[in-house]
Structure 1
Amino acid sequence: MGGAVMPDTSSPVLPAAAIREALERIFASADFDASERNRRFLRHVVEETLAGRADRIKGYSVAMAVFDRDASFDPQLDPIVRIEAGRLRRSLDHYYLTGGQADAIRVIIPKGGYVPTFTARSSADPVIDDPGVSPDMLPPDPPRPADGASIVPPPAPLQGRLGRLGRWLPWHGILILVAILALFAVWRLGALQQSPDGQAETTRRQGPAVVVAALEESDAEATRLHLGPGLTREIIAALSRHKNLFVFGTDTSLQPVPGSADALARRLSADYLLSGSVSTTPDRIRLLVSLVDAKKGRHLWSQSYESPLVPARIVDTQAEIARRVVDSLAQPYGAIYDDRITGLTGGVPEQFSSYECVLLFYAYWRRTESALYPSVRACLERTIVDDPGYADAWAALALVYADQVRFGMQPGAIGPDPLGRALPLAQRAVMLAPDAPLGYQAQHLVFWLRHDVEQSFAAARAGLERSPGNAELLADLGGRLCLRGRFDEGLPLLTEAFARNPGQLTIYRLGFFLAHYMGGRYEDALTEASRIDQRDNRFTHIVHAIAYAQLGRKNEAAAELDLLLQLNPDYGNQVVTDLQDRNMSPEIVRAVVDGLRKAGLSVPNAGI
């Protein structure tokens, strides 16, 4: 029985000895990053299969043989096997993308169970030498839209698409095809919901999984108004708009289940549990919510929210409270992002998941950390190859490429035309996810750096039409309107951005600074400058230097100027071009240069 094993294809019978040799090759490789426990897991299921006992490989038997569980083990309450199986699959995937590309036999654990399959690699199978991005892998640069035209081409009308299909199939054929697809979808849903040993099988998750526990109602009025279920539904709906989160549905949260919310989170293998209570006073609704790391039990964040209690507007009130909760949780640099980013920069990017690569981008983006730039770029280039449907990865890579022009990151590393490479990446992101804001943010920046200011603003506004509360887009558009001197349009957007996301990038406060500086309110301008914490960004030193200079504080202005010249010793000869390249209005360029001259910087007369 243990002499030979059939592979999962029509290949010849694979000898058990060859399979064991392949297994030892995996274990000996530095590219197989599994824990010792998961190595035992893999060896156990392989040996059981080779011994002809594949039918005995269930979550229960694996838990006792590998994870030291006893006879009381219940896979519905303890998801250890399912969780570790997912990690083991990722370790195998990483191995076969790296050191194991040329292995003659591949050991795979298909999703939905724990029985391994053994596949003989054909000599014709390609070996990928470099998963990086080359120009021919990028989408073609679509024609530039006319002024005022939509950035995203509208989808073809359904009638037109069916009409084209009708040229190939008669109408009754289309109806049969639709019925077959519907039946397949129903079958597939059932297959996803139940695995062979009765455990719930999760779908592929791009980011962390969040379960919202049914909010408790603390008083009779909250119960009468159904505030608990109503707010729970609204929060789930708002969270679900963030595509980087896997959010369990309303029925899961609101159905009666035995045990605590913690038990629900463990049963679902959730990463985060959001729970709380809602109460009322005669004129107010008060919501108290907390976020917990569902795997470690760590309390991560809590906040209270209040709103006027107006029964006639209860639906709108619940939606507004939910929006505020979700902005605090799920926006970039919100509570979930902060928790996931913690410790990420010390990891090994080559082993990061697609989602972790995007998180690494946010860690870089927050302070424009030049030391992180090579790792972020390489990680994202690998991600769009491995996970080509991940829109945020395409958008993030476009922003990273644009930074070669914006901040001089790794000059020449991606060719002579970084913006020419970045634009199709941003456009691909928008095509993949027309409702996701990051693609529009990337288009906004790339058009801006190409000095197509109105097209840049059109891209940002297109994103805000689809995601009106996105703090990053609000800040980007508001800040750049301020650079153009359009403070009446830009300042309200910046104010809303910081209200929605107090953890917003501090460099966006440059817009507030310029409004005060151009109005001659130099003390207020200096206060805004002090709130910008990006000390490696030359504009941080510029705004401090010119505010100090206008206030007559010459020593402090000179100290900031010294820091600026440490970053760029020849900045005096470049300042006018640099400011103009940032599309600053001529009036602002003149005012900034005047401040720098007062601070002691020698700036040639460039006719400004």
Structure 2
Amino acid sequence: MANERVERRLAVIMATDIVGYSRLMEADETSTLTAMKRLQGSIVAPNIAARGGRIVKLMGDGSLVVFSSAVDAVDCAISLQEELASDQKDVAIDDRILFRIGINLADVVIEGDDLFGDGVNVAARLEATAGPGGICIADVVHRQLGIKNCSAFWDGGEIVLKNIARPVHVWHWKDAPTVGSSTSSAAARTSIAVLPFENLSGSPDQDFFSDGITEDIISGLARFRSLSVVAASSSFSFRGKDAGLKEIGKRLSATYLVEGSVRRSGERMRITARLIEAASGTHLWSEHYDRSVTDIFAVQDEVTRMIVSTLVGQIESADVRQALRKPTTSLAAYEFFLRGLVHIRGYGADDNEQARMMFEAAVERDPQFALAHAYLALARLALHGYANAPADILDAALALAQKAVRLDAGESGCERLLGLMHYFRRDFELAERHYRRACQLNPNDANTMVQMGGLLARRGRLVEAMQWIDEGLRLNPFPPQWYSVTLGNTLYILGRYEEAAAALKEQPNPGQFTCARLVACYAQAGNAAATEEAKARLLKLWPDFSTEDFITRGLLLELSEQRQMFREGLLKAGLPA
């Protein structure tokens, strides 16, 4: 080493990495290595050599390359990604070899054939920031580019890179397959087209109302960024045409179709909506809404919101059923995400662990999938008892939820789950702020409404809390089971103990905290037999139960008087203080 010359100079560093390398090797090591060797010889090495680059090192699933020109490095990266995408287009999604590429311009130390320095580390972190098939470049590189390549990148702003002290201004390649997406490319297949609702009233002057319903449903669905919604101009083009539903679905590339009708008779109106699986023509859901036409626009708004909220739940359920029919190893990011939703809402012994695994698989396959990051934060907390998780777990979950919002600031679900992270940290003010932001982004999301109601109840605003919860339950006639816990907790605080117990009993497999609430409900309601039965079940789950321990660990309440209400109920049941 003493005889080797040490050189320091300005260089352009390109770092590359293969997406999901460990998964590919585990699935088929021989085929993966053969494919990598072929791509290295036919695409990667020739492109680098043609632009004057030098491969400093190969690292199994990636490489470090040095260029003397930023323009050449970026040209090389774009050419690599385009040729790789073309080469892999006929390969099954799960088996494709995709690269991430990061490029930085910095002063580096050259020792022999190797590169060292902070600039090399930044290039590696930029590569990790890029999406599958994507390119992430530092601002200092972007400033060196000509007009053509400058316009090929969108501004990612300043971001914090792992183990890098200062924020770095980054730019992302616009033609990357997942740039700017809140979900994976697989999620784009979950597309829906709303066909123009038919006016059955016999009066052409009522077309404005049926068309208004259709356009409002399209707008409402478009707020759910996990769905790809066909524009009104495209779906309206099939009005009056003699085309079957399967053909329409095929021509619009839609997974699901919504159709409906409006019939007015005097001062009464019936609005019917149906959800159809386009490929099979199967009717998945239908409902009709009868209303008095006192204010036609108020009717339009109310019915539209109910249809939109119900449709989203039905589509999600249908997608889940589709995903569960496929072998786990064949799933892409969105389908792993759907499986994660099933487990995070489940009550089995290993559901939380399964949810974590599914969301991690989704994030690995699409690092730009914002909702998968947000739900991964929730799953990791669930494994540690949510609010009872250690401080470092709570901090890590919060950081992950914040990253989800940065990935897609327009996704209401990410804002909602960020609010939930703050709630678990007992930062009720910040939780409310993010819930309200989520409602602004999507006023049709019943989940946000119910969680907002639960939060407001804990902050002592009980009338407002029940308004939010009631609206969420009205809009979502097929709610997930956690709604019942939120409702039960709020009803208890309101002193409606029997109703609270009825709501909490809807939990299929209540844990120790829910069982404690049930004991308090029955004791406060004066139901001695039910109190004893619930107490026995609680002590079986929690033999060393103490009221104070439950108040500290099991209740997230802002007001001391609310904690006292639960304390009174538990002590009244004869449980230890």
TM-score (norm 1): 0.63
Q: Distance in 2 between matches of 1:223 and 1:417?
A: 62
Q: Distance in 2 between matches of 1:597 and 1:505?
A: 32
The answer to whether the Cα contact below 8 Å between 1:287 and 1:305 also exists between their aligned partners in 2 is yes
Over residues 302-356 of structure 1, what are the superposed CA-to-partner deviations in whole Å (9 max), with x where a residue is unaligned? 011244546xx766654443222111111xxx11122222375686545432212
Structure 1's 373 and 175: CA in aligned 2 closer, same or farther, altered over 3 A? closer
Structure 1's 593 and 205: CA in aligned 2 closer, same or farther, altered over 3 A? closer
| Structure-1 residue corresponding to 2:255 | 271
Over residues 28-84 of structure 1, what are the superposed CA-to-partner deviations in whole Å (9 max), with x where a residue is unaligned? xxxxxxxxxxxxxxxxxxxxxxxxxxxxxxxxxxxxxxxxxxxxxxxxxxxxxxxxx
Over residues 472-519 of structure 1, what are the superposed CA-to-partner deviations in whole Å (9 max), with x where a residue is unaligned? 111112112212333133121111111111323344344544454445
2:490 is equivalent to residue 523 of structure 1: no
Q: Distance in 1 between matches of 2:448 and 2:278?
A: 31
Kindly report which structure 2 residues correspond to 1:165-244, keeping only aligned pairs within 5 A, or say none.
205-221=187-203, 224-244=206-226
2:535 is equivalent to residue 551 of structure 1: no
Which of residues 359, 368, 377 is equivalent to 2:356? 377
Kindly report which structure 2 residues correspond to 1:447-458, keeping only aligned pairs within 5 A, or say none.
447-458=422-433
CA shift at 1:592, angstroms?
1.4
Over residues 533-582 of structure 1, what are the superposed CA-to-partner deviations in whole Å (9 max), with x where a residue is unaligned? 242333432232222223333232122122223333223262132145x2
Structure 1's 550 and 454: CA in aligned 2 closer, same or farther, altered over 3 A? same
The answer to whether the Cα contact below 8 Å between 1:405 and 1:419 also exists between their aligned partners in 2 is no
Structure 1's 428 and 518: CA in aligned 2 closer, same or farther, altered over 3 A? closer
Kindly report which structure 2 residues correspond to 1:126-145, keeping only aligned pairs within 5 A, or say none.
126-127=60-61
**Corresponding residue pairs, total:** 444
Which of residues 550, 575, 581 is equivalent to 2:550? 575
Q: Distance in 2 between matches of 1:209 and 1:476?
A: 27
2:406 is equivalent to residue 431 of structure 1: yes
CA shift at 1:107, angstroms?
11
Q: In structure 2, the residue corresponding to 1:303 is in which secondary structure?
A: strand
Q: Distance in 2 between matches of 1:95 and 1:600?
A: 58
| Structure-1 residue corresponding to 2:460 | 485
Q: Distance in 1 between matches of 2:22 and 2:187?
A: 15
2:33 is equivalent to residue 99 of structure 1: no
Structure 1's 346 and 273: CA in aligned 2 closer, same or farther, altered over 3 A? closer
Higher strand share: 2
Q: In structure 1, the residue corresponding to 2:224 is in which secondary structure?
A: coil
Q: Distance in 1 between matches of 2:59 and 2:490?
A: 61
Which of residues 559, 564, 569 is equivalent to 1:585? 559
2:317 is equivalent to residue 338 of structure 1: yes
Residue 458 of structure 1 aligns to which amino acid in structure 2?
Answer: R
Q: In structure 2, the residue corresponding to 1:536 is in which secondary structure?
A: coil
- What 5-or-longer segments of structure 2 have no aligned partner? 1-19, 46-56, 63-97, 99-121, 127-138, 155-173, 176-184
The answer to whether the Cα contact below 8 Å between 2:273 and 2:288 also exists between their aligned partners in 1 is yes
Which of residues 424, 437, 443 is equivalent to 1:462? 437
The answer to whether the Cα contact below 8 Å between 1:349 and 1:375 also exists between their aligned partners in 2 is no
Residue 280 of structure 1 aligns to which amino acid in structure 2?
Answer: R
Structure 1's 478 and 119: CA in aligned 2 closer, same or farther, altered over 3 A? farther
| Structure-1 residue corresponding to 2:265 | 281
2:290 is equivalent to residue 360 of structure 1: no
Q: Which moved more, 1:334-343 or 1:438-447?
A: 334-343
Residue 383 of structure 1 aligns to which amino acid in structure 2?
Answer: A
Structure 1's 401 and 514: CA in aligned 2 closer, same or farther, altered over 3 A? closer
| Structure-2 residue corresponding to 1:184 | none
CA shift at 1:220, angstroms?
2.3
- What 5-or-longer segments of structure 1 have no aligned partner? 1-90, 109-115, 140-163, 182-186, 189-202, 604-608
2:276 is equivalent to residue 292 of structure 1: yes
Residue 227 of structure 2 aligns to which amino acid in structure 1?
Answer: L
Over residues 163-195 of structure 1, what are the superposed CA-to-partner deviations in whole Å (9 max), with x where a residue is unaligned? x99x9599xx879966999xxxxx99xxxxxxx
The answer to whether the Cα contact below 8 Å between 2:221 and 2:229 also exists between their aligned partners in 1 is yes
| Structure-2 residue corresponding to 1:401 | 380
Residue 519 of structure 2 aligns to which amino acid in structure 1?
Answer: A
Q: Distance in 2 between matches of 1:258 and 1:360?
A: 38
